[in-house]
Structure formats: structure tokens, C-alpha cells
Structure 1
Amino acid sequence: MIACITKHLARFRRDEDGNSTVEFALYFTVFFLILAAGVEIAYINLRHAMLERGVDLATREIRLSTGHVPSYTDVRGMICSKAAVLDDCESNLRLEMVQVAPRDLSGAPNDADCQNAAQDPRPVRNFVAGQDNDLMLIRACLKYKPMLPTTSIGKELNKDAEGYAQIVVTSAFVQEPR
């Protein structure tokens, strides 16, 4: 009996059929996880770059439009129209704009005011249009759903109860004289 078992085990040890399948299963899993993390990072970077571009173009338009004081919805609309790839931008973007003393940059709170479409609406924390020659600080917070929330990068993002992560962009500008 033992001789029969050792004979079969020796034959099993010498046989190399299926060897590449095991290697493929191991290497493909690792390769796929690295690829998924790279795609998630690239998409986060794209969202951040487009949000930053939208905020910069909107602040340029605010800064140079003398005489016209834009409302909160106007500024949010400008940002969302310039940033093309942001999902559900109008309902997931929150803005803060405050006047800051040029020698004391403690005008805005440290934590960003963020809200997603799934939450109940609440009033904007602070959005004040500046006067001539005022140093203004604008902060935009976008809530978004990660593309691959179960991969290594998607798990490490700070998410709220609904599964939304956030991107925060801050910009400063001086209000031009009217």
C-alpha cells in the first residue's frame, strides 16, 4: 500500500502539466492589482487636475469681471462647466470663499466644507464676495465615488458613510478694482 502511494507521489512530483497555470494565476493576480491601483490613481489625478483647472479659470473670471459680483451658484456653475470629467459636479461640489488679511492667513477653517448629493442639503458655511483689492481665498471640495473602491487604493481613501471620497482644491486671488 505504501509503495503504491509513494509510486503515485513520485509520478505526481515529476509531472509538470499545469505548472504554467499556477504561475499565471499568481502573477496575473498581482499584475491586475497593480494595474487597478494605477488606474484609480490616474483617475483621481485627472479629477484633481480638472477641478483645479476649473477653480483657476473661475477665479480668473471673478477677479477680472469688474462690477459684477457672482453668486454661489454662478461660481459653482463656472467651475463645473470648465471641469468636464467631474461626475455630478453641480450637486457634489461645495465652495467656500472668504476674505483673508494679507499678513494673517487664518481666514478659513482647516477642515473643508464637503457634502455629496446623498446628504441632506445644508447652508453654505462661508461664501463672501470681496471688495476692491481684497485678498480672497476660495476652497472647492468635490465628493466623488471611487472607480474601484475594493482595490488597495480605493480602500485606503477617506470615505464617508455613503462611500464618497473627497478632493479639496484651494486658490487665492486679489479682487481687481472696479
Structure 2
Amino acid sequence: MARFRNAFRARASEKVCWRDQTGSATIEFVLWFPLFMTLFLTSFELSYYGMRSVLLERAVDMTVREMRLGISRPQNTQEFKTRVCEKTLLAGSCAEDLMVELILVNQATWNLPQGNIACIDRNDPMQPLPAFGTGGGGDLMLLRVCWLKRPFFATTPYVMGLPRDANGEIALSAVSTYVNEP
């Protein structure tokens, strides 16, 4: 009987859970997988926002070029939004997400607008009308555009440190200036 008891004790001591190697890869996976997935998803979304920002800049520049040369002069904000959205790829609901300011710059004082570019406030049912004046020949015009987009992944704004509005949306902006041809 003593021999049986000693054999059982030797066998039991081999099965101690802290010495067991099964499942050790699972622990490493659980610890590292969220970090790598967050890094991957954040880099994907950062690339997507970069691409959208470049496409917005391109669309605004093309529209401003037409305005500068007098090829087309939109008479109101909605017409300008439509023209920008036609030139923007990956737009989705572009016209509803854009806020456009077209401001005449006084060349005597050179007073430029201060503060951030105004973006759409989705909590306010009555949106304020931004400044939009086409100006005359030889006038210096400042154009500011803000485009709100909701992030794909909830953790992205925290990881990238992007400023968000009250609804959690991220603002992409474009600024351009031009002088009207006489």
C-alpha cells in the first residue's frame, strides 16, 4: 500500500496546474491580439481619413479654379456643395455633411476670420447660414469647408487623438483663397 501511495503522490505532483504547459499560447494571444487589432484598425481608418481629406481638398481646388476663372459662379451655398460633392469620390451623404464659408477679405485691413472652421451642428435643427458672397472683380475671397464624418471604429478618435464634436464625428477641413478675375 505504501508503494501505491508514493506512486500516486509522484503522479499527482506532476499534474500541478502552474507547471502545466497546455494553453500557454492562448494567454499570449489574449494579451497581444487586442493591441495588434487596435493598431491595424486605427491605421486602416487613418489611411481612409487621409484619402478622404485629399479628395476633399482636390474637389474644393477644382471648384475654386472654376470660380476664379469665371467658368461657373455658384450663387448660394447649396449650389457650391453640389459642385464639390460631384467632384469628390467616397462622398456618401456629402451635401448634408458639408459646411461652406465664402468670405470677402478686406485688403485694406487684412482681417481674417478667427477661430475654428464652422462645422454642421447636428443637434441644432436650425443651422446658421454661413457667410457666402461671391464678390466682384479683383476681390480676394477666402473659402473654408468643413466635412463631418463618423469614425468606423469607436476607439480610433482616442488612439489617434482626433478632435471630435458632441456627436463623436471627426471634422475634415479644406481652406482655399482666390482672386476673382475682373
Give the corresponding residue for 1:13: 18
Mapped pair 1:91 → 2:96: yes
Bigger Cα displacement from structure 2, 146-155 vs 53-62? 146-155
TM superposition shift of 1:68: 4.5
- Taking the TM superposition and a 5 Å limit, the aligned residue runs for 1:51-90 are 51-65=56-70, 68=73, 70-90=75-95
| Unmatched tracts of structure 2, length 5 or more | 1-8
1:40 to 27, 41, 45: 45
Q: Which runs of 4+ in 1 moved over 6 A?
A: none
TM-score by length of 2: 0.81
TM-aligned CA deviation for residue 111 of structure 1: 2.3
Distance 1:114 1:30 in 2: 33
Which stretch shifts more, 70-79 or 29-38?
70-79
Q: State the identity as a percent.
A: 28
Pairwise CA RMSD of aligned residues?
Answer: 2.5
Residues 136 and 180 in structure 2, CA contact (< 8 A), matched pair in contact too: yes
Q: Distance in 1 between matches of 2:142 and 2:32?
A: 48
Residue in 1 that maps onto 2:114: 109
Larger-Rg structure:
2
* Aligned partners of 2:142 and 2:177 also within 8 Å: yes
Query: What CA distance in whole angstroms lies between the structure 1 residues aligned with 2:31 and 2:47?
Result: 25
> Is residue 116–residue 143 contact of structure 1 (8 Å, CA) maintained in 2?
no
Match of 2:139 in 1: 134
Contact 2:148/2:172 (8 A) holds in 1 = yes
Select the residue among 49, 52, 55 that pairs with 1:50.
Answer: 55
What TM-score results when the alignment is normalised by the length of structure 1? 0.83
Q: Distance in 2 between matches of 1:153 and 1:93?
A: 24
Q: 8 Å contact 1:95–1:124 — kept in the other structure?
A: no
Find the counterpart in structure 1 of residue 171 from structure 2: 166
Contact kept in structure 2, 1:149 and 1:155, CA below 8 Å: no
**Equivalent of 2:155, from 150, 168, 171?**
150
Letter matched to residue 35 of structure 1: F
Contact 1:146 1:154 (C-alpha < 8 Å) held by counterparts: no
Alpha-carbon distance between aligned partners in 2 of 1:97 and 1:172, rounded to the nearest angstrom: 9
Per-residue CA deviation, residues 107-160 of structure 1 (Å, 9 max, x unaligned), is: 323221211556413232311112111111000011111111234646843323
SS in 2 for 1:138: strand
